Chains A and B, each alone.
Chain A
């Protein structure tokens, strides 16, 4: 069965970077794009970007351009999302979600990133 297992919670200081991983299993890793979505406490869902695990190409939401980097490691079926220059407003749960065409049918369990001095 399809599983997306994310790395554990992180606490970071303002200005630092965080790298969240999402390990996929149960399907052919390179056959499906992966999205990253975040959710601040009590807020809605916010799309951050997408990566093609096959070639590594990416597309980011304009809001995060220059601060986010999505990468993948095909040898371990893992995608990564790195967010730099963290500020308190980046405190959120970060999700990876596998795409099937336009829909996100499988989601990771979420990773809480807390930015605090």
Chain B
């Protein structure tokens, strides 16, 4: 099974800061990497698909990059409503794996 290593596990940043989260796959997954946002008590929400494509309706301050085994998720200017936990997710022939999650807090 493909393992996903996501870091950091938690992050504290100020409004307006640039925030970066990384995800590393245990083997090459091409660009089959998605990013989700989950707020407390809610289902996850898809933000970025295929490593770098912004889901419809998602603000442009969110972005993703990478391919192969190393991926990055960025919030260009942190907003108060971005407080949530973020997960990466890989897809390998119908089987999926999530990263451990990154809890984002406002400093």
Contacts and interface: CB of A to CB of B under 8 A. Distances in A.
Contacts of B46: 103-105
Contacts of B50: 102-103
A109 B55 CA distance: 20
Given A45-B44, A95-B43, A108-B43, A102 B34 contact: yes
Interface of B: 1, 32, 34, 36, 38, 43-46, 49-50, 55, 87, 89, 91, 94-101
Contact of B43 (A44, A46, A61, A109): A109
A37 B96 CA distance: 10
B91 A107 contact: no
Interface residues of A, number: 22
B73 to A, nearest CB: 14
B44 A102 contact: no
A110 interface: yes
Contacts of B34: 102-104
A107 B55 CA distance: 15
B95 A59 contact: yes
A102 B95 contact: no
Contacts of B32: 102
A33 interface: yes
